[in-house]
Amino acid sequence: MGFLLLVIPIIALLLLFILKPKRLLHLVSVSSAVLLLIIAAVLTYKVILYGAIAYSSLGGFFYLDALSMMILDIVLMIGLMAAIFSIGYLEEEVKQGKLPAKKIRLYYMLMVTFIFTMVLALTVKNMGLMWIAIEATTLASAFLVGFYNNRYALEAAWKYVIICSVGIAVALLGIILLHLSSAGILENGSFLDWTALYANAASLKSSVLRLAFIFILVGFGTKAGLAPMHTWLPDAHSQAPSPISAMLSGVLLNSAMYGIIRTTAIVNHNQGSSSFTGRLLIGIGILSIATAAVFILTQKDYKRLLAYSSIEHMGIIAVAIGIFTPLSIFGGLLHMINHSLTKSMLFLSAGNIMQKYDTKQIFKIKGILKTLPISGTVFLLGLFAIAGTPPFSVFASEFSITAAIFNQLNLWVGIVFILLLAAVFAGIAVTLFKMFYGQPDSTEAADPRTGEINIPGTVCLVVLLTAVAAGGIYLPETVRELIIQAQSIVLGTI
């Protein structure tokens, strides 16, 4: 059944290539996303029950455990929300003359390819194949970043391709060194198999392994948007169509972070402690949060501001993995879920705002709550949520990570961490909250009528807001068990 995760996107691509009517294109996109999520739900149940899913066919490359399954669920959930939102979004773009109707097919083909590459990255246990899949995500999503084919979109796409390709090349060198660390230890069929690498971690060459981790951290960290390798991210996220921005921030960054987490577990098992990886991860995590805090205060484009917020949250996850205690790992994994849901919600609601006002400039927008009652409310509550205020889910995971820092007696790290989070909150409040006040100026709006313009997309926003609000109060037992099993995999206690 697991192979259907790879087969369904291929079938969807063929159908999208053959079919022409817009309604059928929308139907294929949403149907494939629904099927993938249903299959993922069944596989999630099996993973919780049996611990892992592996098939011996095709060289035994297919493998799912709680860690990969958790991130895969996020990918497919956000993929479904993006597919549903895209129906109204694309129709409105065509109506406003921003997009020719014939490009809808290309959009869906690229989006399905993008999802396929992320699914592939999360369903293989060979680090080399995972690297290939993560590189493929760049190629698939680059065309989506430059989809509007204007000067700024093309510049963002080229910047994205060049910087991430350099980063992935650095990661490849790290993968090669990872292989060299196991030379003469693993059998031919087990080369770069992360399960074999972890099982034999004590025998790996420590000096080579440490060097491999540095290159992998820099390489995959570039794709994850960690500072100072983050420079592609604000441009790419701000220029892509809003459903794609939601996927870039909500799932692509997690897929790159997944490679770092896998490598961290192997290196820590080899070293017998997390001191080496911890210093690097905490350092790069704090730098990422600080970088985001500075740039959020100076932003004039609300999509770029949301992109810098993604850099902040990747930094928070890096700090959590660097602390490497049961509480911090649980908080970091939970934060991956919370950030994905919240940030995707914000980018989708930003898409409705942009279509209504025809601008991304903060100072040109007033009275969102009156012009877009539902999207505006979701955007406002989403800003409180992403800033880590209770009772939203991001607060719960950030609180767990903060508690883990102080439990480890990292007093100065904890103080800096809290101050930076406060600075980010202040930056978001000062910069964005002015959009909600005053009377909307109908002369500046693309559509001065009050009300929502993307009904299917608005339903997605309400669903995501409900999940984000409920997640701060109650964590479903299935989700908790999946995170606990993933936590045990990372810590090596399973």
- What is the pLDDT at residue 446? 52
DSSP string for 252-266: IHHHHHHHHHHHHHH
- What is the pLDDT at residue 184? 81
465 contacts: CB under 8 Å, gap ≥ 6: 345, 378, 381, 382
- What is the pLDDT at residue 447? 55
* Residue 493, φ and ψ in degrees, nearest 5: -105, 10
- What is the pLDDT at residue 329? 97
Q: Cβ distance 475 to 40 under 8 Å?
A: no
End-to-end CA distance of the chain: 25
In tens, the pLDDT along 364-390 reads 898 899 899 999 999 999 999 999 999
* Amino acid found at 451: G
Q: How far apart are CA 406 and CA 401, in angstroms?
A: 9
- What is the pLDDT at residue 442? 53
Using the 8-state DSSP alphabet, how is residue 229 labeled? S
* Amino acid found at 353: I
Q: What is the 3-state secondary structure (H, E, C) of 399-436?
A: HHHHHHHHHCCCHHHHHHHHHHHHHHHHHHHHHHHHHH
Q: Cβ distance 217 to 245 under 8 Å?
A: no
For residue 388, the tally of other CB atoms under 10 A from its CB is: 25
pLDDT higher than threshold 80 for residue 469: yes
Helix (H, G, I), strand (E, B) or coil at 330: helix
191: confidence class by pLDDT, cuts 50, 70, 90: confident
Tell me if the bond preceding 228 is cis, omega within 30° of 0: yes
Tokens 């989403």 correspond to 382
Which residues sit opposite 126 in a β-bridge? 193
